[in-house]
């Protein structure tokens, strides 16, 4: 068994860029900043920022388009996805992103865009699964009691 799960709480570094594909499929991409603070050996407060590329699909992308803006604090669950390609010089290149399947907006009502227009209930509490081919399960595994 293996697990590929990421949990992030951070602030949007940009408004989501949303594209619509065939069949009304939507994909949203944006950057998310997470910060870590600590005191160095001299006692100075140091803050390090890590930037993450976030990708959301379908209904979750539409929620992002409607409600998320630069600076907004969010909770995201997803998994790490890495793309590999070869550039024109024959060098392998990699891009890593987080494919989100759970989104919760954080912060006060005053932090929300258009203040009170957003519903009190989080628009996306249940995971939105990415489309994928069914994986074959060995006989008997689907009958496990847990």
- CATH number reported for the structural domain that contains residue 69 in this entry: 2.40.50.140
Q: What is the pLDDT along the chain (146 residues), one digit of tens a residue?
A: 999 999 999 999 999 999 999 888 999 999 999 999 999 999 999 999 999 999 999 999 999 999 999 999 999 999 999 999 999 999 999 999 999 999 999 986 555 555 444 433 333 444 444 444 444 444 444 444 43
Asked whether residue 43 is assigned to any structural domain, the reply reads: yes
**Cβ-count burial of 61 within 10 angstroms (0-12 exposed, 13-18 middle, 19+ buried)?**
buried
Domain containing residue 126: 6-143
Any alpha helices (H) in the chain, and if so which ranges? 58-67
**Helix spans in 22-85 (H):** 58-67
* Phi-psi group of 72: left, alpha or beta (phi > 0 → left; psi -120 to 50 → alpha; rest → beta): beta
- Quote the distance between the C-alpha of residue 146 and its chain's center: 28
Contact 55, 100 (CB under 8 A): yes
State the pLDDT at residue 138.
45
> How many whole angstroms separate alpha carbon 14 and alpha carbon 33?
10
- Is residue 1 assigned to a domain? no
Contact (Cβ atoms closer than 8 angstroms) between residue 127 and residue 101: yes
């Amino acid at each position: 068994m293996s697990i590929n799960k990421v949990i992030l709480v951070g602030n949007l570094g940009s408004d989501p860029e949303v594209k619509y594909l065939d069949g009304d499929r939507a994909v949203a991409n944006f950057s998310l900043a997470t910060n870590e603070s600590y005191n160095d050996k001299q006692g100075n407060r140091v803050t390090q920022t890590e930037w993450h590329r976030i990708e959301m699909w379908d209904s979750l992308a539409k929620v992002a388009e409607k409600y998320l803006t630069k600076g907004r604090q969010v909770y995201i669950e997803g998994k790490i996805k890495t793309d590999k390609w070869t550039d024109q010089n024959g060098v392998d290149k990699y891009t890593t992103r987080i494919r989100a399947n759970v989104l919760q907006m954080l912060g006060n009502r005053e932090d929300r865009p258009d203040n009170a227009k957003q519903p009190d209930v989080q628009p996306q509490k249940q995971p939105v699964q990415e489309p994928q081919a069914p994986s074959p399960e060995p006989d008997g595994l689907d009958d496990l009691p847990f």
